[in-house]
Amino acid sequence: MRSPEWKVGEPGLDLAAPGFYGSGDHWDVWRQARAAHPVAWHESGRVGGFWSVTTHALGSRVIKRTKEFVSTQGMRLGGNPASVRSAVHKMMVVADGADHRRIRAVHAPWFTGRAVTTMRSELEKRLSAHVDALVERNTSFDAVRELTARFPTWVLCQMMGVPPEEWAKLATLTDTAFDDSDQSEAAAAARGTAHAEIFLYFADLMERRRYAPGNDVVSTLVHTEVDGQRLSTKEILLNCDGLMNGGLETTPHAAAGAILAFASYPDVWQRVRKDPDLIDGTVEEILRWTSPPMHAMRTAVADVDLGDARVREGDQVVVWLPSCNRDETVFEHPDEFIVDRRPNPHICFGGGPHYCIGAPLARVELRCFIEVMAPRIAAFHVSGDVVRKQSSFLNGLDRLEITMEPDTRVPAEEQR
């Protein structure tokens, strides 16, 4: 046991339990935690003890100081130790120092502003057609399954060089592989099988690209040398898995959360539709307000003072990113969705050397999503279930039943 001890929430509260996050009660518990103990030792019946960090200043410090807090013992609370051991120093998110720089450098050309902008025109075409079909259908539908989980798959699969007829298969595998809501043995086995199939899929694609390179991420991972060294087969496969995870488990929740925000704040949606200058700020506020990653974990490699706590070498430290992004000492009215919030220093993409490499892509995707919706949809209405994800790793919705009210005005160019 360490001090200060976690003391807010119901007795017996387990922050590592996915079920806790299904009700949405975590927002209030975190608010209390920020006031009572920004860093506190939490004992979990599932994963043992760990430090819980809930404020923006201390959370930012943990994720930026890689000399004190490392990712090489896993960045996910309750992660499978065998999987972490097998990925460490090889997969970007659980590599540090020179290994991390080497692996990240190979990926970097695909994640510059210019590279991701080229993905945009294809996305805009597909997404416009998809939304037009949904509008035409004119029924209530699950926005997560039928809309927001779809378009990030198109973008990422195109980038990876996956043929379109295999996109749906990969999306299903990724959903299963990274879904921690069901803690049963059967679900764990299903996750293991899905991961194995993702690896097999990319092993096959990698071999195809070795001999016939294309303009895609897999070809880049296979053929690029950094300091005269290429990535090993295992490194390539682990990082393909990492990109699928990073790209498909986050953006859909941000977009679904955006729809919920626009349904809850219809006047804000009207402003965004009419004023393109608001779009950049809206994207940042979507990221802050939805904060899809629930946490980032680190392990201390020295004894360190953190706030009122003395963190010991070997302790696990969990930064609850959505809590940091609703820290009332940084964000005025933190629970409100305010699109002209300036500045908006959210840490939705993390910080320091592990700052999300996919951030430029995620921003382009969300911007494109708004720009496709704005001329078409006058209003979003929640028409049925809004089901929160039961996960301690992902903050988002499993289901969002909506109707979309089309804009029936004749576009100006058609009037001419």
CA distances from 136 to 29, 94, 221, 371 (A): 42, 45, 41, 19
Q: Residue 378 corresponds to which amino acid?
A: A
| Rounded CA separation 351/55 (Å) | 14
Which range of residues in 218-226, 292-300, 307-315, 337-345 is near ligand HEM by CB under 6 A?
Answer: 292-300
State which of residues 92, 162, 318, 402 lies at the interface with ligand HEM (CB under 6 A).
92
Q: Is 292 in the site for ligand HEM (CB under 6 A)?
A: yes
Q: Is 198 among the residues that bind ligand HEM (CB under 6 A)?
A: no
Q: Among 366, 367, 133, which residue's Cα sits nearest to residue 247?
A: 366
Q: Long-range CB contacts (< 8 A, 24+ apart) of 214-217?
A: 214/161, 215/161, 216/159, 216/160, 216/161, 217/107, 217/110, 217/159, 217/160, 217/161, 217/243
Q: How many CB atoms lie within 10 A of CB 47?
A: 19
Q: How far is the CB of 403 from ligand HEM (least distance, A)?
A: 25
Out of 34, 209, 273, 354, the residue judged to bind ligand HEM by CB under 6 A = 354
Report which secondary-structure segment, H or E, holds 251.
Answer: helix 251-264
The residue (of 9 and 250) whose beta carbon lies closer to ligand HEM is 250
> Which of 218, 268, 362, 370: binder of ligand HEM (CB under 6 A)?
362
318 near ligand HEM, rule: CB under 6 A:
no
Beta carbons of 18 and 180 less than 8 angstroms apart: yes
| Shortest distance (Å) from residue 294 CB to ligand HEM | 10
38 preceded by cis ω (within 30°)? no
Q: Which of 263, 330, 361, 377 binds ligand HEM (CB under 6 A)?
A: 361
Q: How far apart are CA 25 and CA 149, in angstroms?
A: 25
Closest CA to 372 of 254, 279, 285, 290: 279
54, 219, 250, 391: which one binds ligand HEM (CB under 6 A): 250
Binding mask 93-112 for ligand HEM (x = CB under 6 A): x----------x--------
Q: Which of residues 87 and 254 has its CB atom nearest to ligand HEM in the complex?
A: 254
Under the binding rule (CB under 6 A), the answer on residue 66 touching ligand HEM is: no
Residues that bind ligand HEM (CB under 6 A): 63, 71, 75, 92-93, 104, 156, 242-243, 246-247, 250-251, 254, 292-293, 296, 348-350, 354, 356-358, 361-362
